[in-house]
Amino acid sequence: MELLGPIVNGIGIILGTLIGLFFTRIPERIKETIMSGIGLTVIIIGISMGLASDRIIVVLLSLLTGAIIGEGIDLDEKLNRIGAHLEVRFKKPGSNSRIAEGFVTASLIFVIGALAVLGALDSGLRGDHEILFTKALIDGFVALVLTTTLGIGVIFSALPVVLYEGTIALFATQIDRFVSESFLDMFIEDMTSTGGLLIVAIGLNLLKITNIRVANLLPSILTVGIILFFYLQIQNWLQ
């Protein structure tokens, strides 16, 4: 069952959020410090991922083309609009819960990253869900911590995560017909590096150092494959 891994990952996020709700009454000062710790950790994770590829030109062009596409369709606005709708629908009167921020921030953290793609590919190609099972535990813990500061909104991130990973898993069942294993390995390296930079941006936003529209950079995860293809074609031509 190709979708088992993505579904378990979604369940992990939901369980982590539900457990985290028991700790939402901690003092605001402690919440701010926790969020700073999360932001710093996210930046370190992003930097380590960003070093995965030595094809910097591919990463740069992927970010540039992804930004153009993302700004053109304004993914950030659409994601925030969904979050705002959830906030109106589920926020209790007088509550200071940050449902929209929790949904958007958690969705970006859980979707961007090598484990999401690698795990989904493994689920689809080999029926091996070990990576996504591991990711479910990690995401569950992160969801718990995020929930202590951002509230119930984190739980809604489970849906885009399942849809994203599920789509990749289903596509992976056919991917070996279109690309070679060597190209897939290089794509994963460049995608990991590109995703790492986006994760750094999320960390900087959490620390309130920047206000980068990370969602509008998400198409770069997809344009990596196209840029890499042309990069290899040009290299072969030059040789």
- The tens digit of pLDDT for each residue in 60-108 reads 999 999 999 999 999 888 888 888 888 777 766 655 567 888 888 898 8
- Average pLDDT for residues 42-50, to the nearest whole number? 88
* pLDDT > 70? residue 12: yes
Considering only 115-119, 134-138, 222-226, which range has the smallest mean pLDDT? 115-119
Q: Is residue 68 situated within a structural domain?
A: no
Q: Is residue 217 situated within a structural domain?
A: no
Domain containing 78 equals 4-54+74-209
Q: Is residue 218 situated within a structural domain?
A: no
- Characterize 55-69 residue by residue with b for buried, 16 or more Cβ atoms within 10 angstroms of its Cβ, and e for exposed: beebbebbbebbbeb
The rounded mean pLDDT for the chain is: 87
Q: What is the pLDDT of residue 35?
A: 81
Backbone angles phi, psi at 210, to 5 degrees: -130, 175
Q: Is residue 152 situated within a structural domain?
A: yes
Residue 153 CA to residue 36 CA, distance in Å, equals 19
* pLDDT > 70? residue 140: yes
* pLDDT > 80? residue 177: no
Q: Is residue 69 situated within a structural domain?
A: no
Q: Is residue 59 situated within a structural domain?
A: no
Q: Is residue 160 situated within a structural domain?
A: yes
Kindly report the pTM of this predicted structure: 0.81
Q: Is residue 118 situated within a structural domain?
A: yes
Q: What is the pLDDT of residue 91?
A: 66
- Average pLDDT for residues 130-155, to the nearest whole number? 89
Q: How many CA atoms lie within 13 A of 168 on its CB side?
A: 23
Q: What is the pLDDT of residue 233?
A: 92
Percent of the chain's residues with pLDDT above 90: 34
Residue 104 CA to residue 111 CA, distance in Å, equals 11
Q: Indicate the number of domains in the chain.
A: 1
* pLDDT > 90? residue 223: yes
- The tens digit of pLDDT for each residue in 152-169 reads 889 999 999 999 999 988
239: confidence class by pLDDT, cuts 50, 70, 90: confident
